[in-house]
Chains A and B, each alone.
Chain A
Amino acid sequence: MNAFNLIRIAWRALQRNKLRAFLTMLGIIIGVAAVITMVAIGQGSKKSIQDSIASMGSNMLTVRPNSNVAAGARLDATTVQSLTLADVTALQKQARYLSAVSPGISTKGQAINGSSNWPTTIQGVSPEYLDIREWPIKDGIAFSDDDVSTAGKVCLIGQTVATNLFPGGESPVGKIIRFNAVPFKVIGLLATKGENAFGQDQDDVIIAPYTTVMKRILSTIYLQNIYASAVDENSADKAVDEMSQILRASHRLRSTDQDDFLVRSQAELLNTFSSTSQLLTVLLTAIAGISLVIGGIGIMNIMYVSVTERTKEIGLRMSIGARGIDILLQFLLEALLISITGGLIGVALGVTAARLVTVFLSWPTLVSESSILLSFLVCALTGIFFGYYPAQKASRLDPIEALRYE
Chain B
Amino acid sequence: MAKKILEVQNLKREFRMGTEVVRALKGVTFDVTAGEFITIMGSSGSGKTTMLNILGCLDKPTDGKYLLDGVDIGSLGRNELARLRNEKIGFVFQAYNLLPRTSALENVELPLLYNASVSSHDRRERAVRALEAVKLADRLDHTPSQLSGGQQQRVAIARALVNEPVMILADEATGNLDSRTSYEIMALLQELNQTQQKTIVFVTHEPDIASFSSRTVMLRDGKLMKDTMNENKRSAKEVLAGLPVSDDY
Check A319–B83 contact: CB distance below 8 A. Answer: no
In the complex formed, the residue of B with least CB distance to A312 is: B97
Interface membership of chain A positions 35-71, coded 1 if the CB is closer than 8 angstroms to chain B and 0 otherwise: 0000000000000000000000000000000000000
Interface residues of B in 93-107 (CB under 8 A from A): 93, 97, 99-102, 106
Q: A16-B99, A16-B101, A400-B59 are known contacts. Are A320 and B78 too (CB-CB below 8 A)?
A: no
Residues of B within 8 A of A8 (CB): 113
Question: Within 8 Å of chain B (Cβ to Cβ): is A403?
Answer: yes
Contact A324/B79 with A1-B116, A12-B102, A319-B58 known, Cβ cut-off 8 Å: yes
Q: Is the CB of A403 within 8 A of B82?
A: no
Contact present for B111 and A320 (CB under 8 Å)? yes
Chain A: CB-nearest residue to B110: A320
Q: Are A321 and B97 in contact (CB under 8 A)?
A: no
Is B199's beta carbon under 8 Å from chain A?
Answer: no
User: A residues 237-264 with Cβ under 8 Å of B?
Assistant: none
CB neighbours (8 Å) of A2 from chain B are: 116
Q: Are A321 and B93 in contact, CB atoms less than 8 angstroms apart?
A: no
Most buried by B among A2, A320, A326: A320
> Do most interface residues of chain A lie in helix, strand or loop, or is the interface mixed?
helix
Q: How far is the CB of B69 from chain A (nearest CB, A)?
A: 15
Task: Choose from B53, B87, B114 the contact partner of A322 (Cβ within 8 Å).
Answer: B114
Residue of chain A at shortest CB distance from B77: A323
Contacts of B100 in A (CB 8 A): 16
Contact check, B99 vs A321: say whether CB atoms are below 8 A apart.
no
B56 within 8 A of partner (CB)? yes
Instruction: Please report which residues of chain B, range 21-50, place their CB below 8 angstroms from some CB of chain A when the two chains form the complex.
Output: none
**Minimum Cβ distance to chain B for residue A279 (Å):** 50
Could you tell me if B82 and A322 are in contact, using CB atoms closer than 8 angstroms?
A: yes
Q: Does A284 contact B (CB under 8 A)?
A: no
Q: Does B66 contact A (CB under 8 A)?
A: no
Q: Is the CB of A399 within 8 A of B83?
A: no
User: Could you tell me if B115 and A400 are in contact, using CB atoms closer than 8 angstroms?
Assistant: no
Contact B59 A321 (CB under 8 A): no
Quote the shortest CB–CB distance from B89 to chain A (angstroms). Answer: 8
Categorize the interface residue count of chain A. 20 to 34
Q: B65 interface residue, CB < 8 Å from A?
A: no
Q: Does B142 contact A (CB under 8 A)?
A: no
Per the bound structure, the CA–CA distance linking A403 and B85 in Å amounts to 14
Which residue of A12, A313, A326 contacts B114 across the interface (Cβ within 8 Å)? A326
Do A5 and B58 form a contact, CB below 8 Å, given A16-B100, A322-B82, A403-B97? no
Cβ-based interface call for A353 (8 A): no
Chain A residues with CB under 8 Å of B110's CB are 317, 320
| Across-interface contacts of A323 in B (CB, < 8 A) | 78-79, 82-83, 114
Bound form: Cα–Cα A17–B100 in Å: 10
Contact check, A399 vs B58: say whether CB atoms are below 8 A apart. Answer: yes
Would B101 and A320 count as touching, CB distance under 8 A? Answer: no
Give CA–CA (A12, B101) in the complex, Å: 10
* Nearest CB of A to B21, in Å: 19
Is A9 close to B, CB under 8 A? yes
A293 at the B interface (CB under 8 A)? no
Give per-residue flags for A316-358: 1 if the beta carbon is below 8 A from chain B beta carbons, else 0: 1111111111100000000000000000000000000000000
When chains A and B are docked, how far (Å) is the Cα of A399 from the Cα of B83? 14
Within residues 66 to 97 of chain B, which ones have a CB less than 8 A from any CB in chain A? 78-79, 82-83, 85-87, 91, 93, 97
B82 engages A321 (CB within 8 Å): yes
B159 at the interface (CB under 8 A from A): yes
Q: How far is it, in angstroms, between the C-alpha of A260 and the C-alpha of B103 when the chains are bound?
A: 86
**Bound Cα distance A8, B106 (Å):** 11
The verdict on A321 contacting B78 (CB below 8 Å), with A8-B113, A313-B99, A400-B53 known, is no
What 14 additional pairs, Cβ within 8 angstroms, besides A320-B159, A321-B114? Answer: A2-B116, A4-B120, A8-B113, A16-B102, A316-B99, A317-B110, A320-B91, A320-B114, A321-B82, A322-B114, A324-B79, A400-B53, A400-B59, A403-B58
Residues of chain A having any CB pair with chain B under 8 Å: 1-2, 4-5, 8-9, 12, 16-17, 312-313, 315-326, 399-400, 403
Binding site for A on B (CB under 8 A): 53, 56, 58-59, 78-79, 82-83, 85-87, 91, 93, 97, 99-102, 106, 110-111, 113-116, 120, 159, 163
What are 12 A-B residue pairs whose CB atoms fall within 8 Å in the complex? A1-B113, A1-B114, A2-B116, A4-B120, A5-B116, A12-B106, A17-B101, A316-B97, A319-B56, A320-B85, A321-B82, A322-B114
